[in-house]
């Protein structure tokens, strides 16, 4: 029987890193074993479902590169993939339970009568765990249907996993205590339970289970915050799982090859934004310029930077790519390359341009640069160093004023690369502008 896994989120309008990792692990396991990864929307609580809430889930998964084989947008032979559209199926299974006499009515609700036995769960991650379900006080009969006819999670979740022929249920450990109840339902419905794999939780900084309140942990936050999807996927894969050889920089393809349920640990993890940030920088540093441009373009367009053509943009991106840590930083880092109306950072100007002799250096450098025939990084470097030597001062005396003059700021790409990208005319003009602005 081929592997079938699923991600079954509720459309809360929010996809956090914990849910994303659950989706990732299910996707990895299915892909690794040549099986199917299914997306099912658990929207039984119709009151809060909105179109936007659904699309947050789709966008998040698409962004991470987790394509589903069956589900919304994809179709499949086991649909519909929205629980809100599966009422007839639930009615059918409820009838099965009724025929067996294991459900009863209580204040308008329908409850499932527990067999009151010990249930042993064989979990692929947690091992064998037994639950004594005999005490009705501590383990009350679960409600499976509300008085208004709507269904409760435990029941529809189990019914759908049966109907959709899931072989493996990989989900957060917060469901471990629910599992014996689910197993009772599988038994009552005459179905064999799937293999369970409960993965450790991802905790917030208080050490508690992640919730909607932890806004910084939403995938939307990472998308808008300028993270590369490959970096985030890599990072979250390392929460609870590892290749066991201390490697950390892994592509989704490599992870897919190495991934096993056996290598998932049991310990809950706190999400470490610092490390995710670092990994993102590593990805931006090492990815191709094409990929960098692709990821960065939405941010540049949003900022309204008039870069003209892609041919003009690429060199600018090339020089900031090794420096930025967030894609969302790129507009700020390249903005001054595409306008003559750039602002001078007061502190930078104070230090580099208002300094005694700074404008003289600028004038000397302008004269020297004016003679440069081949406007390239190495030629400019040679010329600047030569000029510094002639004047008997350290190269920094020229470098800092030049940097601030052409960019308005003290921090940026390598000076010579920046000068090369700007081109001779603009650099000389900017020297003039700086001189005019600070000579008073």
Partner RNA sequence: GACUCUAUCGUCCAGCGGUUAGGACACCGCCCUUUCACGGCGGAUACACGGGUUCGAAUCCCGUUAGAGUCGCCA
Subset of 60-119 contacting RNA (CB under 7 A): 83, 107-109
DSSP classification of residue 141: P
Considering the rule CB under 7 A, would residue 396 count as an interface residue with RNA? yes
Beta strands in 263-383 (DSSP E): 269-270
Q: Which two three-digit tokens encode residue 293? A: 């441009």
Of the candidates 283, 139, 130, 120, the residue with the CA atom closest to the CA atom of residue 186: 120
Subset of residues 171 to 200 that bind RNA, contact rule: CB under 7 A:
173-178, 200
Candidate list 415, 421, 422, 434; residue touching RNA; CB under 7 A: 415
**By C-beta, is 199 or 252 nearer to RNA?**
199
Helix axes 229-237 and 51-64, enclosed angle (nearest 10): 80
Using the contact rule CB under 7 A, the part of the chain among 128-136, 225-233, 295-303, 335-343 near RNA is 128-136
Is there a catalytic annotation at residue 212? yes
Rounded to a whole number of angstroms, the minimum distance from the CB of residue 300 to RNA is 19
Helices and strands counted in the chain (H then E): 18, 11
Candidate list 94, 152, 233, 365; residue touching RNA; CB under 7 A: 152
Using the contact rule CB under 7 A, the part of the chain among 38-46, 90-98, 189-197, 310-318 near RNA is 38-46
3-state secondary structure of 192: coil
Is 46 within 8 Å of 77 (Cβ atoms)? Answer: no
Number of residues that bind RNA (CB under 7 A): 84
Considering the rule CB under 7 A, would residue 397 count as an interface residue with RNA? no
Quick count: other Cβ atoms within 10 Å of Cβ 187?
Answer: 15
DSSP classification of residue 296: H
Considering the rule CB under 7 A, would residue 147 count as an interface residue with RNA? yes
Candidate list 103, 159, 164, 203; residue touching RNA; CB under 7 A: 203
Residue 57 Cα distances to 10, 204, 212, 233, 375, angstroms: 9, 20, 14, 15, 50
Subset of residues 290 to 329 that bind RNA, contact rule: CB under 7 A:
322-323, 325
Is 217 within 8 Å of 210 (Cβ atoms)? Answer: yes
Considering the rule CB under 7 A, would residue 45 count as an interface residue with RNA? yes
Considering the rule CB under 7 A, would residue 10 count as an interface residue with RNA? yes
Using the contact rule CB under 7 A, the part of the chain among 59-67, 276-284, 288-296, 355-363 near RNA is 276-284
Candidate list 3, 239, 353, 368; residue touching RNA; CB under 7 A: 239
Catalytic member of 117, 208, 212, 385: 212
Quote the CA–CA distance of 144 and 66 in Å, as a whole number.
32
Subset of residues 365 to 384 that bind RNA, contact rule: CB under 7 A:
381
Rounded to a whole number of angstroms, the minimum distance from the CB of residue 249 to RNA is 9
Residue 77 buriedness (CB in 10 A; 0-12 / 13-18 / 19+) = exposed
């Amino acid at each position: 029987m081929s592997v079938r896994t699923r991600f079954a989120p509720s459309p809360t309008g929010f996809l956090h890193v914990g849910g994303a990792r659950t989706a990732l692990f299910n996707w990895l396991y299915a892909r690794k074993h040549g099986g199917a990864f299914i997306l099912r929307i658990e929207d039984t609580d119709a009151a809060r479902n909105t179109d936007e809430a659904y699309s947050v889930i789709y966008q998040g998964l698409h962004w991470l590169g987790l394509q589903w084989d069956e589900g919304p947008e994809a179709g499949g032979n086991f649909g519909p993939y929205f629980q809100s559209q599966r009422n007839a199926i639930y009615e059918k299974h409820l009838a099965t339970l009724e025929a067996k006499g294991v459900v009863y009515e209580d204040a308008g609700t329908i409850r499932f009568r527990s067999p009151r036995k010990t249930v042993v769960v064989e979990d692929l991650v947690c091992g064998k765990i037994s639950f004594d379900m005999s005490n009705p006080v501590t383990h009350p009969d679960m409600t499976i249907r509300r008085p208004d006819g709507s269904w409760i999670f435990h029941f529809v979740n189990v019914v759908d996993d049966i109907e959709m022929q899931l072989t493996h249920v990989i989900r957060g450990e917060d469901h471990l205590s629910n599992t014996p109840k689910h197993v009772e339902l599988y038994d009552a419905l005459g179905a064999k339970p799937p293999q369970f794999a409960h993965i450790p939780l991802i905790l917030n900084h208080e050490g508690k289970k992640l919730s909607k309140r932890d806004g910084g942990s939403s995938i939307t936050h990472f998308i808008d915050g300028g993270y590369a999807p490959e970096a985030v996927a890599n990072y979250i894969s390392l929460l609870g799982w590892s290749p066991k050889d201390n490697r950390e920089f892994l592509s989704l393809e490599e992870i897919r090859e190495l991934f096993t349920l056996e290598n998932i640990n049991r310990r809950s993890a706190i999400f470490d934004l610092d490390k995710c940030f670092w990994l993102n920088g590593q990805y931006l540093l090492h990815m191709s310029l094409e990929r960098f441009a692709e990821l960065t373009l939405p941010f540049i367009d949003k900022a309204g930077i008039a870069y003209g053509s892609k041919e003009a943009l690429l060199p600018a991106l090339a020089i900031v790519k090794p420096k930025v840590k967030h894609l969302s930083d790129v507009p700020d880092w390249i903005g001054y390359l595409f306008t003559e109306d750039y602002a001078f950072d007061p502190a930078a100007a104070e230090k580099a341009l208002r300094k005694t002799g700074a404008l003289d250096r600028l004038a000397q450098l302008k004269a020297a640069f004016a003679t440069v025939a081949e406007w390239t990084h190495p030629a400019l470097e040679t010329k600047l160093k030569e000029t510094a030597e002639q004047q008997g001062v350290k190269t920094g005396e020229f470098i800092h004023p030049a940097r601030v003059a052409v960019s308005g700021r003290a921090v940026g790409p390598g000076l010579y690369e920046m000068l090369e990208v700007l081109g001779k005319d603009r650099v000389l003009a900017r020297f003039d502008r700086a001189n005019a602005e600070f000579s008073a």
